Amino acid sequence: MKKTTAFLAASLLMTTALATSAETIRWARAGDSLTLDPHAQNEGPTHTVAHQIYEPLLIRDTTGAFEAALATDWAPSADDPNVWIFNLREGVTFHDGAEFDSEDVVFSINRAKSEESDMKELINSIVEVRAPSKYVVEIVTDGPNPIMPNNLTNLFMMDKTWAEANDTVGVQDFEGGGTSFATTNANGTGPFRVVSREPDVETVLAQNENYWGMDQFPMDVTEIIYTPIQNPATRVAALLSGEVDFIQDVPVQDLNRVAETDGLDIRTAPQNRVIFFGMNTGADDLERDNVDGKNPLADQRVRQAMKIAINRDAIKQVIMRGQSQPAGVIMPPFVNGWTAELDAVPATDVAAAKALMTEAGYEDGFSIQLDCPNDRYINDEGICQATVGMLAQIGITVNLDAKPKAQHFPLITNGQTDFYMLGWGVPTYDSEYIFNFLVHTRGEDRGSWNGTGYSNADIDAKIQSLASETDLDARDATIAEIWETVQAETLYLPVHHQVLNWGVKSNVGIDVDPEDQPKFKYFTVN
């Protein structure tokens, strides 16, 4: 009798164990995807949801390395340096059963290049896409482009027939007024399909049983329930109470709490985002300082003094609770061009900084305004406050003006700030992207985020040469030269690399993605 009961209890336990491993992942992060249209928004959470449903030709795995997705292999053409040839995966079907072929690639890239598309800047070097056969695509660029595939990792493929049948060939058009079909419906080749979606409330995705990679990837997750939860405390409470299984953006003050809870883990990895300060070096005189007739920030010695006055370890320990990686260069460690020497953290030396200030003629210091976001990066305002104190030690009085990102970023892009915080991620994993936006002289096509006013014709020429240099060794040498100048000029004051924290149930196996984009096909559930 006793034995039977024990046996019954054991089998009951077993069935419950099996039942709970019904591989539904309830997932929460701060923001929702803005649209299901894969080309309408070039934005993190939107791409993350799209990655479950749609697929690009190639993706990055959790280490940041390329992995074949809808293309099996790719290489520059032997005949024409301006052409990249992609061989497509055969036998792939969209969720509605339609077959995927080169026509769809041509259609999708052209759609992503259209004026209303938010993805067009990333692929603006593409002039033509050709489909010589059913499973081969040729992409023609306006010159040799050695890193063209880097720009395709978030460029999703749609079905041409489906788009035409549903009148959603164009990307969402504001002037048109209405929403397009693809904003609320999706038909991709990805590992999951949309079951239901209520924007800002809940999105339910189910496994695509016909996915081509069923045997290649763990594919343990059969259902994803995605709920955006804005409030960080609520998000953590939902994880602690077991209402969700996986959250992104765990606030640093709650990390211990989550890690100490039975059955929950914190997974951590450096993010593809570096946090730094920029300074207006270009102006003759600053508007928001107390020095008349000249610009103290134009003096490299002042910038160097500021660089070594910032105590990055203190920021890490006190503000970030250990969750950051102090930086010496404004480049995440995954990026082509990164070296340990460049990223060596500058030693804090207040005495040397003061000496540099004296040498530059500012022994009495000066005052300046620091513009800082308060809702964009992890503890952004706290970092700025700490910096105010550190710069005060060398006589620089900093007036901190922290505001929401919607008001902060226009200051940088419109050149209305003298001293500002910025964070930068590099989707192409190549230094050229950083140079184009942050180092090149501000102009029509490049330098849109360069709020420093820095302009160096020699550097500009070198940056422009990167786009079409096909000799990768020569290209890397140029990249190194540009970095050398950027570092010598102390153009930016690096602070740290952000660290990502994901809170998950312990039975879920996943490595943190440096782009903060979980791809559920990689998740294992025990």
The residues of the shown chain that bind other proteins, judged by CB under 8 A, are 34-35, 40-43, 115, 118-119, 121-122, 172, 174-175, 177-179, 183-184, 198-202, 227-231, 233-234, 237-238, 240-243, 375, 404-407, 409-410, 413, 437, 444-445, 448-449
Nearer to other proteins, 229 or 286 (CB): 229
**Calpha distance 120→42 (Å, rounded):** 9
| Smallest gap from residue 32 Cβ to other proteins (A) | 8
Q: Measured from the CB atom, is 116 or 489 closer to other proteins? A: 116
CB 504 within 8 A of CB 234: no
User: Residue 200 carries which DSSP code?
Assistant: T
Cβ atoms 338, 294 nearer than 8 A: no
- Whichever of 34 and 355 has its CB closer to other proteins, that residue is 34
Q: Helix count (H) and strand count (E) of the chain?
A: 15, 19
**Least distance to other proteins from the beta carbon of 227, Å?**
6
CB of 228 to other proteins, least distance (A): 8
Nearest to other proteins of 113, 316 (CB atom): 113
Nearer to other proteins, 183 or 393 (CB): 183
CA–chain centroid gap for 419, Å, is: 23
Backbone angles phi, psi at 447, to 5 degrees: 75, 20
Residue 163 or 391: the one with the smaller Cβ distance to other proteins is 163
Determine the 3-state secondary structure of 144 from DSSP: coil
* Three-state DSSP class for residue 225: strand
Find out whether 400 and 388 touch, Cβ atoms under 8 Å.
yes
Q: Are 394 and 343 in contact (CB under 8 A)?
A: no
Contact, 420 vs 451, CB < 8 A?
Answer: yes
In the complex with other proteins, the residue whose CB is nearer, 170 or 218, is 170
Of 45 and 326, the one with the shorter C-beta distance to other proteins is 45
Whole-number minimum distance, CB 223 to other proteins, in Å?
Answer: 15
Cβ atoms of 418 and 368 within 8 Å: the answer is yes
Angle made by CA atoms 461, 466, 472, in degrees to the nearest 5: 140
Length of the chain (residues): 526
CB of 319 to other proteins, least distance (A): 23
Q: Which is nearer to other proteins, 446 or 496 (CB)?
A: 446
Tokens 């791809």 found at: 519
User: Alpha-carbon distance 224 to 234, whole Å?
Assistant: 20
Kindly tell me the burial class for residue 403, based on how many C-beta atoms sit within 10 Å of its own C-beta (0-12, 13-18, 19 or more).
middle
Phi (first) and psi of residue 170, to 5 degrees: -90, 155
Spatial contact of 206 and 191, defined as CB atoms under 8 Å apart: no
**Smallest distance, other proteins to C-beta of residue 230, A:** 6
For 60, the enclosing helix (H) or strand (E) is: strand 58-60
Judged by CB, which is closer to other proteins: 183, or 456? 183
